[in-house]
Structure 1
Amino acid sequence: MTAELSSLTAESIQKELLGFLGERIKTDVEPDQDLFSSGLVSSMFAMQLVVHLEEAYDIAIVGPDLKFDNFRTVETMTSLVLRLRDASGPADDA
């Protein structure tokens, strides 16, 4: 990801995720669209989402955060990224 991680916004994360998904699944999705129930994303692809989010946003998704509900929509993934980035806090930047 080329965006400055310290200036992430929900809007910038959603835009990046929509672009990532569009490239991978070759279709446009809405931020609130359930990717699993729509059949656009498989459980195997969910693991690719985990890796992408961890690498793009410098977060670790472990334990209770590794559940389908956190990856069901672009909105839920955005919330997860923001929550985990906030939890890591500015100490990482020092």
Structure 2
Amino acid sequence: MTMSSDRAVPGPLGDEPDVETGLLRFLELRTGRAWSADTDVFGSGGLSSLFAMELVVHLERTYGVSVRGADLQMENFRTVRRMTDLVARLRRTPADGTGG
């Protein structure tokens, strides 16, 4: 299923407030409830591990990042703030993972 929220969002590196806002909007649309950036989206009982995979796909398609290996830890997806931090870090890291 393709959703309009899956379109790539152009933006400069460090555009974290827009990432955070976009993720909050995505969660609200998908779950029917409002979230704060620091709410544990899985600990609150509202989301499943299957939804975690949907979040991975959303982050990759929307923000042009590749979430692989060690980044595929639930802790990186626990809150919108952590997801925003993950996107920012992945945008700064080359796709080959060599850093800088």
Report the TM-score, using the length of structure 1 for normalisation: 0.87
The count of aligned residue pairs is 89
Higher normalized helix content (fraction of residues):
1
Q: Of residues 18, 21, 38 in structure 2, which corresponds to 1:32?
A: 38
Q: Return the letter of the residue paired with 2:17.
A: E
* Stretches (4+) displaced over 4 A: none
Paired-residue identity, %: 42
Gaps of 5+ in 2: 1-6, 96-100
The answer for the alignment partner of 1:78 in structure 2 is: 84
Report the TM-score, using the length of structure 2 for normalisation: 0.82
Q: Deviations over 1:9-60 (max 9, x none)?
A: 2110000000000000110000000011101111000000000000001111
Gaps of 5+ in 1: 90-94
Shift of 1:7: 5.0
The answer for the alignment partner of 2:56 in structure 1 is: 50
CA-atom RMSD in angstroms = 1.6
